[in-house]
Structures are given as C-alpha cells and as structure tokens.
Amino acid sequence: MHAVERRHTFPRTHRLRSKLDFSAVFDAGIRQSRGPLTVLARPNDLPHPRLGLSLSRRVGNAVRRNRIKRLLREAFRLMQHDLPRGYDIVVIVRPHEPLILAEYQRLLSALVVKLHQEWEKRSAAEK
C-alpha cells in the first residue's frame, strides 16, 4: 500500500489576498497570542487552510519583514497538511528578532490548534 502523496506546495489558492478575505477574518475571527505572533482564524468552506500575513513597519526594515514573512510562509507550507482543515488564518507579527523556522512552526501549530478547539466549542454551544 502506498501512503497518500502530500504535496508541500503553497499555491495562490492557499493564500488570503483580498481586503475582503482579511476583513472577514478580522471581523469574525477568534484571536490567540503567543510570543511575537497573534493568530486570528475563521472557518472557510474549503478543504484546505489559507494563510494571510500582517506585518507593520514597526517589525523592522524591509529585509527583516520579508525574512519573517518567508519563514512564516515556509512554516505554514510544511505544516498545512497537519493543521485543521478549512480555516482562514491571519498571522499578525509584533516586533521581535527573527526566530528559527522550527520555532515559528511550533508557535503557529499551537495557536491554530487552540483556535480550532475554540471554534469547536462555539459550534457545539450553538447546537
């Protein structure tokens, strides 16, 4: 038997790009913070999670901001199959020294799992 082949790509369909997508997450999302990251999530009707990043200029110069964005996108790309399905995720970054990839993966994973549990509680309470 073959294991299911998982492609670790990060296509445009897995990204939040429009202002409308971002505002929907900001308006309806639940928020969790840990370390330099604040993550907001909102269920979507897609079979995969989508990622949006928000970094202000206070985080650092363009080189630092782009490095942090690259590391966060890579962390998401590698973990996307392990994250709960069907969420729009926005990561807000506060000023900090860039961390290593494994640290961003750990933070992102913990925050998304916590948000997923929160949404599960909400949907159970509504039933």
Q: Which domains does the chain have, with CATH numbers?
A: 13-126 (3.30.230.10)
Lowest average pLDDT, out of 5-9, 91-95, 119-123, goes to 5-9
Alpha-carbon gap, residue 77 to 85, rounded angstroms = 14
Model pLDDT, residue 83:
84
Kindly indicate the confidence band of residue 1, based on its pLDDT and cuts at 50, 70 and 90.
Answer: very low
pLDDT > 60? residue 25: yes
Mind listing the pLDDT tens digit for each residue in 66-88? 999 999 999 999 998 888 888 99
18-33 burial code (b ≥16 CB/10 A, e <16): eeebbebbeeebbebe
Beta-carbon contacts of residue 74 (< 8 Å; ≥ 6 apart): 101
Q: Residue type for 39, please?
A: V
Q: What is the pTM of this model?
A: 0.88
pLDDT > 90? residue 38: yes
pLDDT > 80? residue 34: yes
Alpha-carbon gap, residue 14 to 10, rounded angstroms = 6
